[in-house]
Amino acid sequence: ALEKLLKSAFPTDEISSVPQGARGADVLQRVRNAGGQECGTIIWESKNTKLWQKGWIGKLKRDQRRIRAELGAIVSTALPKGLSHLGQVDGVWVTDFPSAIGLAMSLRTTLIEVARIALAARSKDEKVERLELLYTYITGSQFRQRIEAVADTVREMKAALEAEKRTIQKRWEERERHILEFINHFRDMYGDLREFAGAALAKVRSLELPSP
96 DSSP assignment: -
> For 103-107, 145-149, 154-158, which range has the lowest pLDDT when averaged over its residues?
145-149
**What is the model's pTM?**
0.58
The CA distance from 131 to 170, in Å, is: 52
pLDDT in tens, 153-177: 777 787 888 888 888 888 888 888 8
Mean pLDDT across 137-149: 68
1 vs 129, residue with greater confidence: 1
Strands 27-32, 14-17: parallel, antiparallel or unpaired by DSSP?
Answer: antiparallel
Task: Work out the mean pLDDT of the chain and round it to a whole number.
Answer: 79
Could you tell me where the beta strands, DSSP code E, fall in the chain?
Answer: 14-17, 27-32, 38-47, 71-76, 86-89, 92-95
